[in-house]
Amino acid sequence: MTKQTHLLTTTAAALIREPSSNKKLKKARYDSPEGKLRGKLDSCSKDGDLAEALRLYDVARANGVNLSQHHYNVLLYLCSSCSGNGNGGEKLDKGSAKNLGLERGFEIFKQMSIDKVAPNEATFTSLARLALAKEDPEMAFDLVKKMKGCGVVPKLRSYGPALFGFCSKGMADKAYEVDAHMRECGVLAEESELLALLKVSAETKRDDKVYEMMHRLRAAVRQVSEETAGVVEEWFRSERAAGVGEASWDVGKVREGVVKGGGGWHGQGWLGSGNWRVIRTHMDEKGVCQSCGEKLVCIDIDPKETENFATSLTSLACQREVKADFLQFQEWLQQHGPFDAVVDGANVGLVNQRDFNFFQLNSVVKQLQRMSPSKRLPLVVLHRSRVTGGPAQYDKNKKLLESWNKSGALYATPRGSNDDWYWLFAAVSCNCLLVTNDEMRDHLFQLLGTSFFPRWKEKHQVRLASNGRPELRMPPPYSIVIQESEQGSWHVPTVVGDDLETPRQWICATRARDASSRRR
């Protein structure tokens, strides 16, 4: 045997042994006292069994088992959960579970510090929840502030106990302090946090803060939940709301604010005086309020935002797709684009169909071509399997695909790819219409964030209603977002209704108008 052959044989043998060796190591870890404790504590966490978890902890401590960060975090999570909801398993009633969770939770964290086990974000969040159960939001806030000193980055959930605790106690200034700390750390409030801030602001008659939270809801949430809608309506119907606002205002300054903000709001404060008329209503197809007659506006998207979004989309796609395949598509798009519309072929061909329907897809393509200013075909994006197999093998469909291909209007995505990345990038980079009934809510689209993407989708997504003949439902000519008019009225969209099958519910809040008092 040559030296080289011996080396290859030895390497191969080592590679064969390696999986077996790894299995043995995993089994040894699993069978160790620490591994068995981890498995049992995880089961307790799943079942919400605080009593059994504490028993296991006490036995482990007595037997000298070394507890890891994971062990401690599971215990603290159970203590905080049970102290919050009072459910600690079959052996404990609600009151006992809450008291036991509070008592043992802080004791366990103290032991964690003695054992010099480093805390992480989950540790601090569980402790903050314990502080909230203790009705001590100040302690919860102090814990969040200590995270930075420990090199731990707080998350939105880390702030919840302090923020909600202060809000529930009516301590508005402390709640604003937590909110400011969040923003300094780059943590963005979502609807539940903004709702709590809106509610405490209304309750403490801080009309300036109510105004601020309304605009933050406009920017971050767009359509509000029923709970938020109820708080908004309650504010506008209050005596305090009736007593705030400018009876006369500088029309030029208000219009300047509208232009600067991109439309749909001015940010100059409450306008008008007297009681508000608050009613649930809906908009017609042109965006005219069916209660007050005011027309909502379509809010522009900054071209730079679109460009930045396309760049981030490329970056994400190249991480999750075969990079060479996606870059090849971008080159193809530069050569054949831009398009006036992009069609999610797989989705359109299956709307209200059992099997993929090329006739329905072609009907949509023809409608879009007729609508196009240049009368060119839209880009149809289909997975390769849709182009080569199934109904695509019929002669009529083959000819259709060939005609699209010759016209540079068909792109077949590679095997193993997710065609969502392709049709979305094409629509964004061409700044054109996108035809799909995909609501774009799954994990892929969550990666794109909650700020720009919903606004882009609202202005560009065309939906398909197929009741015999496919019918295109164009994007609304107005933005479905909280709008503040130049006359001081407010329109707040709710999540009730969808603008497609049933009218969306809006809150309309207006005041009596007196043209002579508006200008100064």
Poorest-pLDDT segment among 48-62, 69-83, 87-101: 87-101
Question: How high is the pLDDT of residue 149?
Answer: 84
Higher pLDDT, 262 or 94: 262
pLDDT tens digits, one per residue of 263-295: 899 999 999 999 999 999 999 989 999 999 999
Higher pLDDT, 518 or 319: 319
| The pLDDT value given to residue 25 | 72
Q: Tens digit of pLDDT for each residue in 108-161?
A: 999 999 999 999 999 999 999 999 999 999 999 999 999 988 899 999 999 999
The sheet with strand 341-344 has its strands ordered as: 410-413, 379-383, 341-344, 433-435, 461-467, 469-473
What DSSP assignment string belongs to 361-393?
Answer: HHHHHHHHHHH-TT-PPPEEEEEHHHHHSGGGG
Cα–Cα distance for residue pair 101/94, rounded to 1 Å:
11
Terminal CA-to-CA distance of the chain, rounded, Å?
101
What distance in Å separates the CA atoms of residue 287 and residue 508, rounded to the nearest whole number? Answer: 13
Q: pLDDT tens digits for 53-74?
A: 999 999 999 999 999 999 999 9
Question: For residue 42, what are the CA distances in angstroms to 46, 161, 228, 281?
Answer: 6, 24, 36, 49
**What is d(CA 249, CA 517) in angstroms, rounded to the nearest whole number?**
8
pLDDT tens digit string along 404-439?
999 999 999 999 899 999 999 999 999 999 999 988
**Using one digit for the tens of pLDDT, what is the confidence trace for 227-237?**
999 999 999 99
pLDDT tens profile 398-412: 999 999 999 999 999
Whole-model pTM?
A: 0.80
Range 186-206 average pLDDT: 96
Helix, strand, coil percentages for the chain (3-state, nearest 5): 60, 10, 30
In what order do the strands lie in the sheet containing 483-484?
Answer: 277-281, 506-510, 490-493, 483-484
Q: What is the pLDDT of residues 321-363, one digit of tens each?
A: 889 999 999 999 999 989 999 999 999 999 888 899 999 999 9
What is the structure's pLDDT at 499?
57
The SS3 of residue 39 is helix
d(CA 406, CA 78): 63
* pLDDT attached to residue 143: 96
pLDDT of residue 94: 62
